[in-house]
């Protein structure tokens, strides 16, 4: 039986209603915060809640919050907005674009995201993302309902290619598919990526080999 993982639990896909498929509700991206670029900081939960209320009143039922760990998400605040407005929230596991990884991790003992991601094996990254789906995001009870693989605009950087190449993705998804837990269903099927714009590069993101 298929289901969709939301902040309030696993639900029937038929109950999602009108869905906003890619949004950032409350987040303070470390990369932009370090550069004091306020345009990219969504740091006022009250204002974000007001936006979600407008969406709900217009008939919206579900929002996919596509904010990964490297984009400064506030999981409890977003979950609270979903609870208070009655809008389903689908959280996101995985990683964003690699240019963001130069920023320091908020709780990383001075390390950058690049230090952490670049210094981790594929198996370690798999374990981290599987944990976001099966156990919870950043120590919370809220679990992810999709996985994100960010890539650069007009190109795929060497860092991204190393981690998210088709062969790596194939191993990644096969590893996830082998997990016996029912929780892996949305993880293995719902993927989110910022597709590159260059016509010769798009296939490297789009043509992910099927899971055997």
**pLDDT 10s digits, 20-36:** 999 999 999 999 999 99
**What's the pLDDT at 169?**
56
The backbone torsions φ and ψ at residue 101, rounded to the nearest 5 degrees and listed phi first, read -75, -10
Length of the chain, please?
212
Query: Can you name the residues that pair with 19 across neighbouring β-strands?
Result: 62
Residues near 166 by Cβ (< 8 Å), separated by ≥ 6?
A: 204, 207, 208, 209
How high is the mean pLDDT of the chain? 82
Residue 31: burial class (beta carbons within 10 Å; 0-12, 13-18, 19+): buried
Using DSSP, state whether 19 is helix, strand or coil.
strand
Model confidence, pTM: 0.83
* pLDDT tens column, 153-170: 777 788 777 666 544 555
**Per-residue DSSP letters for 34-83?**
HTT-GGG-B--HHHHHHHHHHHHHTTEEEEEE---GGGTB-HHHHHHHHH
3-class secondary structure for 106-159? CCCCCCEHHHHHHCCCHHHHHHHHHHHHHCCCCCCCCCEEEEEECCCCCCCCHH
The structural domains of the chain, ordered by start, are 4-206 (3.20.20.140)
């Amino acid at each position: 039986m298929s289901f969709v993982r939301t902040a309030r639990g696993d639900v029937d896909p038929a109950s999602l209603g009108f869905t906003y498929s890619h949004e950032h509700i409350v987040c303070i991206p470390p990369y932009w915060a370090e550069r004091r670029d306020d345009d990219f900081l969504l740091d006022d939960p009250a204002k974000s809640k007001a936006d979600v209320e407008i969406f709900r009143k217009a008939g919206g039922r579900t929002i996919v919050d596509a904010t990964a760990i490297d984009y400064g998400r506030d999981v409890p605040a977003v979950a609270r907005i979903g609870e208070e407005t009655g809008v389903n929230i689908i959280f996101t596991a995985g990683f964003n674009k690699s240019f963001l990884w130069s920023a320091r991790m908020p709780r990383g003992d001075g390390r950058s995201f690049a230090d952490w991601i670049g210094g981790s094996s594929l198996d370690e990254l798999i374990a981290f993302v599987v944990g976001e789906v099966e156990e919870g995001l950043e120590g919370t009870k809220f679990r992810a309902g999709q996985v994100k693989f960010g890539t650069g605009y007009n190109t795929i950087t060497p860092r991204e290619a190393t981690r998210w190449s088709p062969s790596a993705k194939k191993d990644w998804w096969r590893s996830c598919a082998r997990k016996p837990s029912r929780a892996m269903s949305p993880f293995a099927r719902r993927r989110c990526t910022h597709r590159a714009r260059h016509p010769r590069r798009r296939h490297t993101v789009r043509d992910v080999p099927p899971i055997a």
